[in-house]
């Protein structure tokens, strides 16, 4: 079970029930049908429990594209539905949970800690609660005190979600069989790793995880997780943290966590990211012989951004030097494009954001195609998602031959299809 959302508190628009309906809002066996073979922690959990011959009763899983904090009505509705579904099957022997770790509602800044604590209260202290976290979790003491063991993704991009589900489920199985006595410790590091430095295959994170793996070889350590933190949530627990799960030895867990904290703090300068302005980025493009990606770190859909900033588009159009592809969320522009036939030229009006607030941008374009925006991704990608829906989508070409994709729904660009 889980209410899974990465909440950007700097976005004024609240995340609503409709956003979850456009994402995933599943109960019962619909959860199994969606995730049984997916590159997602739910699928990993099901794989282990089915292999062990343990009865699994899916409760509720709700996930929405990262965005603003959940409205009070939305969160309270999700919470009520989840607890009502759970009440139908109580008592249970154990719980597997899927919080994101960076969820915020209008009423509860520590949303994940809140619902996990209510779950603990409902099932009692004797029922084990094991689960997973996103690598970008802002972990609170309440999340940790409400659960027996939490395991975070180890890779960014998140292509190991299913493996972490397997890990969490195996920890639970070993506990249920009496093989282990897991105790977990949280170490909140007094820094936040810059989001630009969080690619786990590159330095400085590559060496950080190599050291963490070395510490994990201690026979008393069952699991070691590093949560980089989510900087777009202005909450008390924002920042990097470490969760260590040890076999009955809390002192050992704390010792290992502190060693890893010291490693990070001693190298803190290497975890500071560097951002470029648009003009300097264009100058870098001029020196490159290969295609270049320009990433707007303030309008990151995967971090809850609105996906409609036009600054990079405007810079490209003003220069007239570059052939580009840009994706923008603008339902009204999609509707406008839908009034034309493929091959027809028209004036496109995009209403988005810029450095000085709301911007209206006009340019002459040719309609290439309009689609329903639905596609599938068969390979492991960041987010573990298989089915994608951008809503009605229009692709247009500019007079210089560049392309703009306009979507009706905000979708994270995690597929290479």
For 103-139, write each residue's pLDDT tens digit: 999 999 999 999 999 999 999 999 999 999 999 999 9
**Mind spelling out the 3-state secondary structure of 362-382?**
EEEEEEEEEECCEEECCCCCC
pTM, to two decimals: 0.90
Question: Domain check: are 211 and 242 in the same one?
Answer: yes
**What's the domain range around 116?**
2-271
d(Cα 304, Cα 68) in Å, to the nearest integer?
A: 6
Task: Output the pLDDT for position 380.
Answer: 64
Q: What is the dihedral of CA 229, 233, 238, 244, to 10 degrees?
A: -40
- Is the same domain home to 308 and 188? no
State the pLDDT at residue 54.
97
The pLDDT of residue 384 is: 65
Angle formed by the axes of helices 278-286 and 311-319, to 10°? 50
Q: Residue 331 half-sphere exposure, CB side, CA atoms within 13 Å?
A: 7
* Cβ–Cβ < 8 Å for 14, 237: no
* Residues 160 and 202 placed together within one structural domain of the fold: yes
Torsion, CA 6, CA 11, CA 17, CA 21, rounded to 10:
-70
Residues 93, 35 contacting (CB under 8 angstroms)? no
Find the mean pLDDT for residues 7-33: 96
Q: Rounded mean pLDDT of 193-216?
A: 97
Q: Is 416 helix (H, G, I), strand (E, B) or coil?
A: coil
Least confident of 58-62, 242-246, 255-259, 349-353: 349-353
At residue 185, φ and ψ (nearest 5 deg) are: -130, 140
Same structural domain, 154 and 9: yes
Tokens of 53: 């011959």
253, 271, 289 — which closes off a domain? 271
pLDDT, position 381: 66
Q: Is the dihedral of CA 226, 234, 159, 81 positive or negative?
A: positive
Q: Is residue 60 located within the same domain as residue 183?
A: yes
**What pLDDT score was predicted for residue 417?**
63
> Which is more confident, 200 or 382?
200
Question: What's the confidence (pLDDT) of residue 66?
Answer: 95
Residue 178 falls inside a structural domain: yes
Within a domain: 183: yes
Same-domain status, 191 and 297: no
34-74 per-position pLDDT tens digit: 999 989 999 999 999 999 999 999 999 999 999 999 999 99
* Residue 377 pLDDT grade (very low, low, confident, very high; cuts 50, 70, 90): confident
Residue 300 lies in a domain: yes
Of 210, 243, 271, which residue constitutes the final position of a domain? 271
Residues 125 and 94 in one domain: yes
Q: What pLDDT does 376 receive?
A: 82
- Whether 376 maps to a domain, the answer reads yes
Please check whether residue 111 lies inside any domain of the structure: yes
In Å, what is the CA distance from 243 to each residue of 101, 169, 269, 273, 311? 12, 17, 22, 24, 39
For tokens 């195609």, the residue is 369
- For residue 175, tell me if it sits in a domain: yes
Of 320 and 17, more confident: 17
Residues 101 and 199 in one domain: yes
- Looking at the predicted structure, is the pLDDT value of residue 383 above 70? no
Rounded to whole angstroms, the Cα distance separating 387 from 372 reads 13
The top-scoring range by mean pLDDT among 166-170, 286-290, 361-365 is 166-170
Give me the pLDDT at residue 409, please.
Answer: 93
Count of Cβ atoms closer than 10 Å to residue 378 Cβ: 10
Both 266 and 326 in one domain: the answer is no
Q: What is the pLDDT of residues 65-113, one digit of tens each?
A: 999 999 999 999 999 999 999 999 999 999 999 999 999 999 999 999 9
Percent of the chain at pLDDT > 70 equals 97
Counting residues of the chain whose pLDDT is more than 90, the rounded percentage is 83
Mean pLDDT of the chain: 95
User: What pLDDT, on the 0 to 100 scale, is given for residue 382?
Assistant: 65
325 part of a folded domain: yes
The answer to whether residues 141 and 261 belong to one domain is yes
pLDDT mean over 143-169: 97
Find all residues with CB under 8 Å of 357, minimum gap 6, and list them: none
Strands 129-133 and 95-97: parallel
Q: Is 391 in the same domain as 294?
A: yes
Inside any domain, residue 286: yes
At 286-315, the pLDDT tens digits run: 888 899 999 888 888 889 988 999 999 999
The answer to whether residue 415 scores a pLDDT higher than 80 is no
* 179 and 293 share one domain: no
Total domain count, the chain = 2
Shortest CA distance to 329 belongs to which of 103, 6, 13, 75? 13
Final residue of a domain: which of 222, 239, 271?
271
């Amino acid at each position: 079970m889980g209410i899974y959302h990465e909440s950007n508190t700097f976005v004024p628009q609240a995340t609503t029930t409709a956003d979850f309906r456009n994402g995933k809002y599943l109960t019962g066996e619909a959860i199994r049908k969606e995730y049984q073979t997916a590159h997602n922690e739910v699928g990993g959990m099901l794989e282990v429990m089915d292999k062990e011959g343990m009865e699994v009763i899916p409760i509720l899983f709700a996930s929405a594209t990262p965005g603003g904090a959940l409205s009070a009505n939305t969160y309270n509705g999700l919470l009520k539905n989840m607890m009502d579904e759970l009440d139908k099957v109580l008592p249970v022997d154990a719980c597997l949970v899927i919080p994101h770790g960076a969820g915020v509602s209008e009423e509860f800044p520590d949303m994940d800690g809140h619902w996990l604590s209510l779950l603990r209260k409902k099932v009692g202290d004797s029922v084990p609660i094991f689960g997973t976290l996103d690598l970008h979790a802002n972990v609170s003491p309440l999340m940790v005190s409400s659960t027996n063991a939490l395991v975070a993704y180890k890779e960014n991009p998140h292509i190991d979600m299913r493996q972490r589900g397997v890990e969490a489920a195996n920890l639970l199985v070993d506990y249920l069989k009496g093989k282990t006595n897991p105790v977990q410790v949280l170490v909140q590091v007094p820094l936040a790793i810059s989001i630009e430095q969080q690619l786990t295959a590159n330095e400085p994170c590559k060496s950080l995880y190599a050291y963490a793996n070395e510490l994990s070889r201690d026979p008393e350590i069952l699991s070691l997780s590093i949560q980089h933190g989510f900087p777009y949530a202005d909450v008390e627990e924002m920042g990097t943290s470490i969760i260590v799960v040890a076999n009955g030895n809390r002192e050992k867990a704390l010792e290992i966590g502190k060693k890893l904290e010291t490693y990070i703090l001693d190298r803190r300068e290497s975890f500071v990211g560097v951002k470029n302005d648009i003009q300097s980025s264009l100058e870098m493009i001029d020196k490159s012989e290969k295609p270049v990606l320009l990433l707007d770190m303030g309008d990151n859909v995967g971090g809850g951004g609105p996906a409609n900033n036009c600054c990079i588009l405007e810079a490209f159009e003003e220069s007239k030097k570059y052939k580009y592809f840009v994706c923008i969320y603008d339902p009204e522009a999609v509707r406008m494009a839908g009034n034309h036939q493929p091959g027809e030229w028209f004036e496109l009006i995009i209403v988005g954001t810029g450095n000085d607030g709301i911007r209206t941008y006009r340019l002459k374009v040719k309609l290439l195609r309009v689609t329903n925006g639905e596609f599938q991704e068969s390979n492991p990608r960041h987010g573990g998602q298989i089915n994608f829906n951008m809503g009605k989508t229009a692709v247009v070409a500019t007079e210089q031959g560049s392309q703009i994709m306009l979507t009706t729904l905000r979708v994270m660009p995690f597929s290479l299809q």
